[in-house]
Chains A and B, each alone.
Chain A
Amino acid sequence: MSSVETNEVATDLREQGIVSESVIDSLGRETCNVEVADISTLYADPVFSCFLIDESGSMEPYKQDVIDGQHEMLEILRKSKKCEKEDALFVSQCLFSDTVKVLNPFSKLSPDGIDDVIILKSGDYYKPNSTTALYKSLFRLLQEMAANIANTADMGMASTFTIGVITDGGDTDGGIEPEEIRNIIQELLDKGILRRSVIVGLTNPYFTKAKLEELKTTLGFQEAIGLSQDDARAIRRAFVLASQSSVSGQI
């Protein structure tokens, strides 16, 4: 794994002509250091799966569900063809509250579990607290994606990405205009770079299914799934869907 400045990424993307100038300008506006995955010897197009997990204070009641669900989701991903057979599934996980906590940057997921992908239940990682900086977190993630798009193209391969957001509410921090995120996501979807985008919403009286749908539309996501906590199979199905978005029906 190596790191790269986002302004260097912008230069590479410009040369490669993969995304538009407006997207490059957006992503390169705030310079920061992002990590790129090691893709030196792959025998299949890599898939990069990003998971953003809400760690704001309101998630406290769902803490154990998230920890268990994340584990189950990774287990499903490990059994996917992209991971098990092609060895080309990379996972990035972030926890977000008022700040973004990168659990792990894009790391190759191993079928046998020997990898750098963090399992929440393996330590005291998940501590819900504070507010929901969803937009900032998403923007940071898009910058990381851009760096890996450029790096993969440089190796003569096409990369695809999936984003899964698990949250119990909308953004409370601002800092980034949601239209900017939506425009980037829309272009990545149009170009087939972003394959799936799903928000798994833990609905409650303050975050209804209607609000979940509204958030989906605001961010330009393709799918929103409301969790029903009464049916264990439905919850599992939601996590299966979130993980399936990474491997597109090839589990």
Chain B
Amino acid sequence: MVTIIGGANYTLDKPIKWGGEGEIYKLDQKSLAKIYYPDIINTERRLKVLSLCTSFSDNINHFGTESFAFPQKPAYEDKEVFDRLSGFSMSYFKDLKRNEPCPDIDKVCFDLNTNDFKRYRNYKFDDAKAVDLIYNIFDVVDRLHKSRIILGDVNTGNILYNQNSGLPVIIDLDSAQIGLLRCLACSDEYLDPIIQEQGKDSQGSYTYSFESDIFSIACVCYEFFIGANPFFVQTKPSPKNILYNKENGICILRFCHSSTSVLNGVQCLPTVANSNIETRLRALQAEYPELFEFFISIFIDNNRTSLLHTLNLNDPRHPAYIFHSQLGFDNARKQIVEARKELIAKHKSSLYNVALKKNTDSDLGFDNARKQIVEARKELIAKHKSSLPISQITQNVSNFAPLDLGFSKIVHAIPVNQLSTNYNVALEKNNDSDQKELAMFLSNYGSDISEMTGDD
């Protein structure tokens, strides 16, 4: 049987890899072919392959060629007609220096038996490089998500590591869920239990989501770094497999996190395997607490936030970094901080600067500072109730209030004639207004405020 790809004839005899959907053959030094099993290929897959091959140029223009193996040309058996379409060609990702195929991350993951990363050819990961790769995996997935591409079928065999570029490579993109093109494959071990609970559609496939990709990628990355599936744990009574454990949230991380060996009647056994996994988790917690917390958030708290979004906004890996740093938001933030500093310097001897100084120096402190300001304001009112001119009071209030939080604006917005007759009421009312405004402001920019107070 002859396989026709891009007008050239190939005799595909010995596959170099087998998958759940088909076999992979080497075409030449730069290309591979994926040929579906006869019982797998159908009209829907053929249409999807044609659609993906048609958009190949757009895909590589948009995503580049480093990290994605998009279907390139359709493959036909004997004749170039739709019914004979059997697969497609794609890029062959190799380590160019060594002329060797890029390994699956399975082959370079952590090995709990040796307590070290597996060596592949002459390469071996260390913890720091492994964590970098994990962030890079989330980055390439984020790029796909921004283009509304959902991977769907995620497993450790679908992600390669290119030692040359240091980047992950996503393969099996023919399975991805893109618009109306469904993902027809599934890896049960990594499937988001939420999607599993929703069940399959009338055509027998799952409808994946961006969030389900985050869960699956988190599983794959956990397995890569720790050396075992997050839901593998030796338990009693009635030990269950990882699929059951996943559905029921039974994972060794939960036992570690709660520092107990029995949860809801399930005992985590004191076996060598459990102990080694726990040791590895503790090492992760000590070395990379943010990654450890991310796994907690996914597997215990049931969140589906990407690892990248847990980063500081000033971190270039954060998806909003460009918006934050390049579009002026960060500059505006800095100006606020500078203005505040100037105020502090200007009123160094004032009683209220103590409160401001504290506010600036504390980690979060905003609420405490506000309370101090309110107290100070009350003192001010009491002290100068009948002696200080109104203009002086408003000046004082606007001076100690942070510039952009609206205190000064509110005070200035109050007509002087009202202040002159009932300024105490007005100032009290001002306190209430501040709280509402604060709540609104904090809900939008709370994280930035905490950063401001932390940074400065």
Contact = CB atoms under 8 A, between A and B. Distances in A.
Interface string B126-162: 0000000000000000000000000000011100000
Contacts of B445: none
A18 interface: yes
Contacts of A81: 106, 155-157
Contact of B229 (A44, A153, A156): A44
Interface in A147-201: 152-153, 155-158, 160, 192
Given A85-B106, A85-B107, A250-B155, A158 B18 contact: no
Interface in B350-383: none
Among A40, A43, A152, A240: residue with most chain B CB under 10 A? A43
Given A84-B106, A250-B155, A43 B228 contact: yes
A248 B236 CA distance: 26
A45 B241 contact: yes
B171 interface: no
Given A43-B232, A84-B106, A155 B271 contact: yes
Contacts of B187: 249-250
Contacts of B240: 158
B242 interface: yes
A45 B232 contact: yes
A157 B234 contact: yes
Given A45-B232, A87-B113, A237 B20 contact: no
B106 A158 contact: no
Contacts of B112: 43
A139 to B, nearest CB: 26
Interface in A1-44: 16-18, 40-44
Contact of B272 (A40, A158, A250): A40
A42 B239 CA distance: 14
Nearest to B189: A250
B37 interface: yes
Contacts of A158: 239-241, 244
B179 interface: no
Contacts of B193: none
B415 interface: no
A221 B4 CA distance: 38
Given A43-B227, A43-B228, A155 B234 contact: yes
A45 B268 CA distance: 15
Interface string A70-87: 000000100101001101
A17 B412 CA distance: 78
Contacts of A249: 20, 187
Q: How large is the interface on B (under 10, 10 to 19, 20 to 34, 35 or more residues)?
A: 35 or more
Among B188, B227, B234, B269: residue with most chain A CB under 10 A? B234
A70 B18 CA distance: 16
Interface string A99-134: 000000000000000000000000000000000000
B38 interface: yes
A142 interface: no
A11 B277 CA distance: 32
A251 interface: yes
B232 A85 contact: no
Contacts of B6: none
A156 B156 contact: no
B235 interface: yes
B53 interface: no
Nearest to B228: A43
Contacts of B273: 41-43
Nearest to A111: B107
Among A81, A152, A192: residue with most chain B CB under 10 A? A81
Contacts of B99: none
Contact of A85 (B18, B156, B276): B156
B277 A43 contact: yes
Contact of B235 (A43, A84, A156): A156
Among B20, B239, B240, B244: residue with most chain A CB under 10 A? B239
A45 B242 contact: yes
A18 B107 CA distance: 35
A250 B18 contact: no
A44 B156 contact: no
B266 to A, nearest CB: 10
Contacts of A45: 232, 241-242
Interface string B172-186: 000000000000000
Contacts of A152: 239
Interface in B291-316: none
Nearest to B14: A236
Contacts of A160: 241
A156 B234 contact: yes
A21 to B, nearest CB: 17
Contact of A237 (B38, B227, B242): B38
B387 interface: no
Interface string A213-251: 000000000000000000001100100100010001111
A5 B156 CA distance: 40
Contacts of B236: 156
A152 B232 CA distance: 14
23 contacts: A16-B238, A43-B227, A43-B276, A43-B277, A44-B228, A45-B241, A79-B17, A79-B18, A84-B106, A84-B107, A152-B239, A153-B239, A155-B271, A156-B239, A158-B239, A240-B18, A244-B20, A249-B187, A250-B155, A250-B157, A250-B187, A251-B18, A251-B20
Given A44-B229, A248-B188, A249-B20, 18 more contacts: A42-B273, A43-B113, A43-B227, A43-B232, A43-B277, A45-B241, A45-B242, A85-B109, A156-B235, A157-B234, A158-B240, A160-B241, A233-B1, A244-B20, A249-B187, A250-B155, A250-B187, A251-B20
Which 6 pairs across A and B sit closest by C-beta, in order of nearness? A156-B234, A249-B20, A158-B241, A43-B228, A85-B106, A156-B269
